[in-house]
């Protein structure tokens, strides 16, 4: 019987320098110039995205804007317009939907598509990838890079290999897959954080090929048995995660991987609060209300849980998002160190829906919380705090 995962055809579509490319498209006079989306260089704050021309000066997302200004004083700085990017994102996802309903959005500009069942109608993974790229370019004036493979891990690695405006097809034969992965740095392995990477490098394991060649004894001297098994499978290009449609699609989420696994519940809570604030602001900027909120916790050893809660009415204010997420967090038993936490809002609606006039335990109505959150967004923007965000 054929292994269903091996027979799958998965695309990972990733827009090229998405925020910056939308700005360049919307401002044709910026084409070919270094464009930095983020805080201005004289304010505190960071770069959200940089055009390829700006990247040539060593500017990248999450870099302080001040540093970016030093590296390229003539760069064009423009504040992020998340509402605009969300609009374009919806157009991109509508193009995906012509080819498959099985779409798992990872962020505004990135998604996995399982096109296995579309092959009969549209040909090969490659022909679907090219059709999607042509539609994005022809209809939206933007470029995307696509990786095509038998699973998510390989497809995601591949989309990055011929960026920008490129397609990469990963071979299917196990030995060819190993050869494809061998030259890549070990940082490309899914789930390898900075600490683990440094440790593997210290042991002389710089490439995926080196881990492929390493003996069990060598690996077990460095990492736990579960991690070693995880590495072995990934280094062989094996990954059986499914494309999960509608799980994160059309939602906004953000996660934080800790440099070192965390056991202190206060750190986990603080990090979650930071993520909630960031996601909440993006939600309000997009003019949406969340019907569902969710948290994600990944333990040391890669086991991951998600917890979700439906909001009635839908909401976009930080108070409601915080209260819901912390209620979910309270129900999680923390018995192991935590590697990653995430927060997301899903099933986004254009309005809160009914029951807008109910008061909550604080005696405030939802509109009051919403107004307060929006006021704080404005204040944050004025003082440059709103842009202190990593790019998606």
Residue 74's Cβ-count burial label (10 Å; 0-12, 13-18, 19+) is exposed
CA nearest neighbour of 259 among 334, 181, 337, 322: 337
Closest approach, Cβ 109 to Mg ion, in A, equals 5
Q: Which is nearer to Mg ion, 82 or 276 (CB)?
A: 82
Which residue is associated with the tokens 């360049």?
24
Kindly tell me which of 21 and 65 has the beta carbon lying closer to Mg ion. Answer: 21
**Residue placing its CB nearer to Mg ion in the complex, 109 or 347:** 109
- Range 297-326, binding Mg ion (CB under 5 A): none
Q: In this chain, which stretch among 104-112, 267-275, 321-329, 364-372 interacts with Mg ion, using CB under 5 A?
A: 104-112
- What 3-state DSSP class applies to 243? coil
User: Which residues, at least 6 apart from 379, have a Cβ–Cβ distance to it below 8 Å?
Assistant: 385
Least separation in angstroms between CB 57 and Mg ion: 19
The DSSP code sequence of 21-71 is HHHHHHSGGGTTS-EEEES-TTSS-BEEEE-HHHHTTT--TTSBHHHHHHH
Stretch that binds Mg ion, among 56-64, 103-111, 135-143, 339-347 (CB under 5 A): 103-111
Which residue bears the tokens 């029951």? 355
By CB under 5 A, name the one of 8, 9, 13, 14 that touches Mg ion.
14
Nearer to Mg ion, 156 or 281 (CB): 156
* 8 Å CB contact between 208 and 118: no
Rounded distance, CA 32 to CA 177, Å? 36
Residue 370 is a binding residue for Mg ion (CB under 5 A): no
Stretch touching Mg ion by CB under 5 A, among 11-19, 241-249, 266-274, 370-378: 11-19
Separation between Cα atoms, residue 38 and residue 50, nearest integer Å: 9
CB of 16 to Mg ion, least distance (A): 6
Closest CB to Mg ion among 68 and 391? Answer: 391
Q: What span, in angstroms and rounded, lies between the C-alpha atoms of 292 and 311?
A: 6
Q: Are 3 and 116 in contact (CB under 8 A)?
A: no
φ, ψ for residue 388 (rounded to 5)?
-80, 70
> 339, 302 in Cβ contact below 8 A?
yes
> How many residues bind Mg ion, per CB under 5 A?
4
Catalytic residue among 53, 102, 104, 110: 110
Which of the ranges 108-116, 171-179, 348-356, 370-378 carries the binding residues for Mg ion, by CB under 5 A? 108-116
**Catalytic residue check, 7:** no
Residue 113: name the closest of 12, 6, 249 by CA. Answer: 12
- Taking the complex as a whole, how short is the minimal distance between the CB of residue 52 and Mg ion, in angstroms? 12
Q: Considering only residues 109-138, where is the footprint of Mg ion by CB under 5 A?
A: 109
Smallest distance from Mg ion to CB 286, Å: 18
Q: Of residues 137-196, which lie at the interface with Mg ion (CB under 5 A)?
A: none
Question: Which one-letter DSSP state was computed for residue 353?
Answer: -
- Could you say which of 11, 13, 15, 200 contacts Mg ion (CB under 5 A)? 15
Residue 10: phi, psi to the nearest 5? Answer: -115, 135
Q: Using an 8 Å Cβ cutoff, are 17 and 60 in contact? A: no
Nearest approach, Cβ of 110 to Mg ion (angstroms)? 5
Q: Smallest gap, in angstroms, from Cβ of residue 255 to Mg ion?
A: 16
Of 102 and 109, the one with the shorter C-beta distance to Mg ion is 109
> For Mg ion, which stretch binds (CB under 5 A), given 17-25, 46-54, 80-88, 215-223?
17-25
| Site residues (vs Mg ion, CB under 5 A) | 14-15, 18, 109
Residues catalogued as catalytic: 110
């Amino acid at each position: 019987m054929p292994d269903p995962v091996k027979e799958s055809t998965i695309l990972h579509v990733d827009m090229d320098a998405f925020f910056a490319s939308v700005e360049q498209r919307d401002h044709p006079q910026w084409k070919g110039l270094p464009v930095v989306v983020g805080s201005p260089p004289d304010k505190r704050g960071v770069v959200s995205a940089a055009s390829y021309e700006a990247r040539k000066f060593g500017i990248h997302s999450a870099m302080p804007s001040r540093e970016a200004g030093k590296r390229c004083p003539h760069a064009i700085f423009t504040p992020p317009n998340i509402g605009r990017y969300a609009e374009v994102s919806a157009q991109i996802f509508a193009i995906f939907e012509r080819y498959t309903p099985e779409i798992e959005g990872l962020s505004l500009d990135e998604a996995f598509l399982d096109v296995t069942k579309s092959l009969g109608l549209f040909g090969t993974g490659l022909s679907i990838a090219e059709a999607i790229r042509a539609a994005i370019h022809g209809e939206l004036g933007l470029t995307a890079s696509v990786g095509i493979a038998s699973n998510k891990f390989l497809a995601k690695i591949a989309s990055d290999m011929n960026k920008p405006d490129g397609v990469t097809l990963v071979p299917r034969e196990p030995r060819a897959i190993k050869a494809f992965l061998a030259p890549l740095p070990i940082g490309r392995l899914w789930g390898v954080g900075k600490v683990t990477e440094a440790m593997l490098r210290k042991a002389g394991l710089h490439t995926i090929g080196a881990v492929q060649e390493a003996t069990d004894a060598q690996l077990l001297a460095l990492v736990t048995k579960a991690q070693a098994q995880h590495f072995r499978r990934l280094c062989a290009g094996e990954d059986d995660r499914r494309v999960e449609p509608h799980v994160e699609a059309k939602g906004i989420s953000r996660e934080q991987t800790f440099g070192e696994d965390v056991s202190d519940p206060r750190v986990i809570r603080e990090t979650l609060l930071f993520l909630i604030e960031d996601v909440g602001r993006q939600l309000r900027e997009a003019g949406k209300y969340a019907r569902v909120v969710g948290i994600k916790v990944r333990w040391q050893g890669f086991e991951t849980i998600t917890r979700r809660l439906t909001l009635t009415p839908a909401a976009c204010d930080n108070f409601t998002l915080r209260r819901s997420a912390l209620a979910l967090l309270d129900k999680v038993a923390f018995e192991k160190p935590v590697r990653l936490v995430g927060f997301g809002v899903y099933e986004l609606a254009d309005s809160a829906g009914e029951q807008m006039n109910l008061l909550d335990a604080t005696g405030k109505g939802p509109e009051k919380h919403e107004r307060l959150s929006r006021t704080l967004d404005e204040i944050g923007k004025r003082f440059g705090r709103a842009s202190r965000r990593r790019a998606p």
